[in-house]
Structure 1
């Protein structure tokens, strides 16, 4: 096979793209050493591929192209690019490379769009959850304000006792509906494993405590005003610190606050 037939066989294009075996690469290098026209054809293919790849995808890096570009920068090896009649032989390979690069770019853009859509969806869900929480908080606040502002509601100050002189609370007692709300903002956080328990007290003819609820939502309430059970004829309210789950009768040694109606 003479040099012209060798050039037109298409093996040089495969050599530039790194698709040959070690033995075939050795054969091409030997032919290039023997025939200057073969060496010129290799360099022409390399320059054409580099030029086209930079125009199509200037931000993509391919190892083979970097090696080719470095080779072309060697002043002693650069040969001016000459028009070749057989350029159509390797244009098919270049077109395939361009197609692959274009497909990769489109796939990358599609992934970016999908990621952006996922982010927007997650952000929307987060905003909906936040809005729902704010709506519940607003409803809770409005309900508490309605009870406090009711003309039948009286405010009972519950002062700190010996075990916690700095503690304080407020009972809002609607004498018509018998509803009771406790403002716990002045109470210290209960120790782990303990809970505040609210008692409605009858003072006469004998002291009679009735449990009307646990303040177990102490840390969850946004308004710090917690509704407990109704109290039918309460003459006073007291709050004690009890083991989790509450006690059947108040632990007077742990009486935190007390106030008369």
Structure 2
């Protein structure tokens, strides 16, 4: 298995972000147990995301505590005027018929027919001229306060979740950008390493073609295998070919130009394989021709040239 290719596929970043399918999640966990390199990269990715989250975390607003307590109302609740007054005379209750002593009050009200227990309820005295005492359970106030706190915390949690999701999306985009940059750097490194090995190989003759009056800043190197006569082009600097045009390589053999093939339109940081060279080639040159090439070079559109 190509472990490096698996790491570079981006699945480890998706696993940490929680965007993989259950099957992919199981696969990553299995691979991390088998291959230490994958486990190490997974831990490094998790650490990087954790550091990012810690760096950009947002603490709860300082005013949240004051806002919650400001909305808690512990004012005394009075009995509605429409409610029927209830006598608290214990002796009268004992003499009356027990079936007539219990009356239905509005919700959350409780009639005292026996000795009240102060530790479980809060007693409020009706201030109307009808007299009577109504007990409201202590838990009613706390239930109302708890519902307010829950609503506020729920709203705050939704906002934080939205922010975290946005941060995760930004982090994923940043990871993709970073991955592309790393891939580009690796590609350049591999290309330079290949060039260095060719330049050091004694079997290759390097013919440097310098820019002419048409394009002084241009530079191209022809890497010629003197044993097989194969030619590779390293385009170091050459303007992009305009629409309908294409660069063409030539060798000069016995004073005459010989076609060596056209260059790919995308030639930057690529080794272009051209036609085999004639062993008697005295120079290499590149001209700008119509797309597909020309049987003879356009001398006024010659961009680079170099002697063997």
Question: Could you tell me the TM-score, scaled by structure 2's length?
Answer: 0.48
Deviations 1:22-51 (A, max 9, x none): xxxxxxxxxxxxxxxxxxxxxxxxxxxxxx
Equivalent residue for 1:239? Answer: 286
Instruction: Verify: 1:58 aligned to 2:107, yes or no.
Output: no
Gaps of 5+ in 2: 1-61, 74-121, 125-135
Deviations 1:57-76 (A, max 9, x none): 4368x9xx7xx9xxxxxxxx
Check whether the contact 2:215–2:303 (CA below 8 A) recurs between aligned residues: yes
Cα distance in 1, alignment partners of residues 123 and 65 from structure 2: 24
Instruction: Verify: 1:106 aligned to 2:157, yes or no.
Output: yes
Identify which of 174, 178, 182 aligns with 2:225: 174
CA gap 1:104/1:186 in 2 versus in 1, 3 angstroms: closer
Cα distance in 2, alignment partners of residues 212 and 149 from structure 1: 26
CA gap 1:156/1:108 in 2 versus in 1, 3 angstroms: same
Check whether the contact 1:169–1:185 (CA below 8 A) recurs between aligned residues: yes
Deviation at 1:160, TM superposition (A): 4.8
Equivalent residue for 1:121? Answer: 172
CA gap 1:243/1:94 in 2 versus in 1, 3 angstroms: same
Equivalent residue for 1:18? Answer: none
Aligned length: 184
Deviation at 1:252, TM superposition (A): 2.8
Give the secondary structure class of the aligned counterpart of 1:104.
helix
Deviation at 1:242, TM superposition (A): 1.4
Equivalent residue for 1:21? Answer: none
Equivalent residue for 2:77? Answer: none
Check whether the contact 1:200–1:231 (CA below 8 A) recurs between aligned residues: no
Relative to its length, the structure with more helix (as a share) is 1
CA RMSD, 1 decimal: 3.7
Cα distance in 2, alignment partners of residues 123 and 165 from structure 1: 39
CA gap 1:211/1:118 in 2 versus in 1, 3 angstroms: same
Identify which of 153, 156, 160 aligns with 2:207: 156
Check whether the contact 1:239–1:258 (CA below 8 A) recurs between aligned residues: yes
Cα distance in 2, alignment partners of residues 242 and 115 from structure 1: 51
Question: Could you tell me the TM-score, scaled by structure 1's length?
Answer: 0.55
Cα distance in 2, alignment partners of residues 115 and 56 from structure 1: 23
Check whether the contact 1:237–1:258 (CA below 8 A) recurs between aligned residues: yes
What are the equivalent positions in structure 2 for 1:63-212 lying under 5 Å apart? 85=124, 88=138, 91-161=142-212, 163=214, 168-185=219-236, 187-203=238-254, 207-212=256-261
Deviations 1:185-236 (A, max 9, x none): 35455445433211234327xx251233315224x42xxx642314232503
Equivalent residue for 1:216? Answer: 265
CA gap 1:84/1:230 in 2 versus in 1, 3 angstroms: farther
Equivalent residue for 2:57? Answer: none
Cα distance in 2, alignment partners of residues 141 and 156 from structure 1: 17
Deviation at 1:91, TM superposition (A): 4.7
CA gap 1:59/1:247 in 2 versus in 1, 3 angstroms: farther
